[in-house]
Structure 1
Amino acid sequence: MKFLKNRTVLGVVCIALALIICFAITPLFNASKSSTMKIIRIKNDVKIGQEITSKDIEVVEVGAYNMPSEVLQKSEDVVGKYAAAEMIKGEYVLSAKVSDTPASENGYLYGLTGEKRAISITIPSFAGGLSGKLISGDIVSIIAVDYKEKGETLVPDELQYVEVIAVTDKKGNDDETVTVKPDGEEETELPETVTLLVTPEQANILAELEAEGEIHVALVYRGTAENAQKFISAQEKYLEELALKNEKENENTDKPEVPQKPTQSEIAEDKNSAGNSGENNSEIDKIIIDPENNSDTQSENNSDDNSETEVTSSGESV
C-alpha cells in the first residue's frame, strides 16, 4: 500500500513538473529566442587605423538570443572612433575592435599639426635604403644623384638632417613581414619606401627628386631622441636662415634701384663686407654627440672612451 502511495505521489509530482515546463518555462524560453535587439554592423570595409564614419556602419535588428555582450548597440559608440582591427562588410562591431586613438602602426600620421609634412620616397635599390636597416627615429641625409641635371651627386643643404618616421614594404606594412612560401621557406619582405617628417620646403625638394632624380639614403645618427633632436634643430635653424635670406633678396629685387654716388663711409663698408665674404653664408651648425650619452649605440668595449664625434653639414664624422 505504501508502494502504491509512493507511486501515486511520484506521478503527481511528475505531472506537475510537466505542466510547469509546458506552460511556464517553455514560453519564457521561446520568448527569449524570439526577442530582438538593435546592433551596429559594418556597411563598408574598414581598414585598421581608419576613422569610422556614419557611412561605414548601419543599425540592424537581429535576434537577441545568444548574442555576445561585446557587440555594440549604439552608433555614438562607434562613429568617430578608430578601427583597432580590420573589419569587413556585414561584420558585427565588437567593443574590442574600436579605439579612441589611432592604431599604433600608423599613429605617427595622426601626430601631424600642420607645421610639417609626412612624405614617402621610393628606395631605388637594396643599397639605396641602407640595406633594409633603417628604422623609425633615424636621422638621415638624402643624397641626390645628378642633382638638378647638373651631373653632380650631393646632399642638398635642405636635406642634411631628416627624421625617418616609417619604413614600409610593398604591401604597406611598416613592420618587417615574413612570408612563408609553399615549400616552407621563409621570405622577408624588404622595404620599398621611407617616410620622412619634413617641412613644406623639404617636401617640395623630395617630390622633385622622386620624379626626376635618383635618391640614396645615408644614415647620420641613431640613438637617443634628445640627441636626434639636436640634428633636427640644426636643420630647422638653417632653413629659417635660408628663408630670411631669400626674403631679403626678393625685397631688394622688388625695389627699383636709383643710382647714387656712394659716400666714403659706404665705400669703406663695401670693402669690409667684401673682405668678409663667405662668413655670413648660411651653414648648418656642427653637431657634436658624446658617445657616452648615446645609450643606444654605445658598446661595452668603448665604455671608458671619452672621445667625441663631430658631425658636419656634409654628414662626415671628424
Structure 2
Amino acid sequence: MKEKLRKLTKNKMAVGIFCVVTGLVVAFTSMNIKTGSNEVKNVVVTTKKIEVGDKITDDMLGYKKLSGDISGLITNKEEVLGKYAKTSMVSNDYITNDKLSIEAIYGSAYLENLGEDERAISVTITSSAKGLSGKLESGDIVSVILSRTDENRNKDTYIPEELKYVEIISVSDSKGLDTGSENENAEKLGSTVTLLTMEEQSLLLANAENLDEIHFQLVYRGNDERKQKLLNEQKKIIKGEPLEENANNNTSSDLSLKEKPTEPEENAIYINNNLLEFSGISYPSLKVDNNIFVPAKILFEKLGYQVYYDQAEKTIQLTNRDIVIKFSTIEDEYSFNKDEEPQKLGIAPYNYNGINYVPIKFLEKANLIYKVEDNSVLYIFTDKEKLEQSKEKNTKNKKGTVNNNSKSNKSK
C-alpha cells in the first residue's frame, strides 16, 4: 500500500512539473506575440470627406501611426490612388479594400449612398437621337435641352440654368436593365437616363416630362478635376453663388453675360452694364406698336429666378426666394405677389419665335430700374447703386429716359 502511494506521489510531482513548464512556455510565447503586436506601423487614412463614386487622389489620403492588429488595413497609398469609393468615408477614416472599387461606381451602388443634398431622378429618352444615339454613359456630364411648341406652333428651345451640368448615374433599357452592363439581356439603346440631381433640378425635370422634347447634350466625359469643376459650378448656380471666371473653359452653351461693347447694338439689353445673350447670340428687346417688350425667361433666369411654365394654364411663374411672379402668356394678367390678384398692365405678353416677351412696364412692377437710351438700347439695373455706378462710368453722357423705381430690389 505504501509502495502504491509513493508511486502516485511521484506521478503527481511529474505532472506538476510538466504543467509548470508548459505554463512558462505559453507565457513566454504570449509575451513575444504581445511585444510584436505593439510595433507601430503607418496605415492609410482619409484627410477629408469622400463621397460614393469619388476617384481617390493623393490630397484625400494621409498616414496614421497605429499599433496592434492592422490586418485588413492598407499601409501604402499606391494601393489606393486611382480607385473609386464604394462607400462614403469621413475624415480620418481607415481605408480597407472592401471600401474601394477599381471601376467607377454608378448604378445601384450610387443610389444606395446618396448624399444629404443629392437626389436621383429618371427621365425618358423618347428617341435615339435625343439620347446621343445610345452613346451616353454613366458618369457623363450633360446639359438638358428642353423644347416646347405653343398653340401657334412656335417653338421655344432652351437650356435651364439649373440643368447646365448634370451627371448621369445610369442609362437603362425598356426592361430597366443598365445598358453597357454585363447582363447579356440588356438592350444596347437606353429608354431612360437616371441623373444625379439636387431637389431644384428634380422639380424641373419632373415638369419637363410634359414638354414636347428633351435632348441630352454631352458636355464632358471623364473623372478628373474638370468634371468636378463643372459640377461645382452647377451647385453655385443653383445656390446663387458667384462663379469663377472661365470656370468651364468656354464650354458653356447656355445663358451668359458679356462685357458691354463700345458701340451697343440696336435694341440690345444690358443688365448692370453687361450684355444679355443666349448661346452666343444676344436677345434684344422688341418694339411692337410703340410698345417695348423684353424676353421674360432669359432675362429673369439671369436675375436668379427659377422659371416654370404651366402648359395647361398657359402661365409662367418666376420665383426667387420669397418672390413669386406669375403671368398669363396670352392674356393681360399679371401678379407680382404670391397672394395678389392678377392685375392688368394694359397689354398682353407677346410671343415671337417661341419666346415669351413681357411689356417693359413689367420690369417696374418687378422692382427693377431701367432706362432706354439712343438706338433703343435698354439698360436694366437691380438697384439704384448699380445705376449710379453706370452713370459714373458712362463718359459719353448719352441722353436717355430713366425710370427710377423707388422700391428696393427684392430679388437681390
**TM-score for the superposition, normalised by structure 2:** 0.34
Larger RCO (CA under 8 A, 6+ residues apart)? 1
Structure number having the greater strand percentage: 2
Structure number having the greater helix percentage: 1
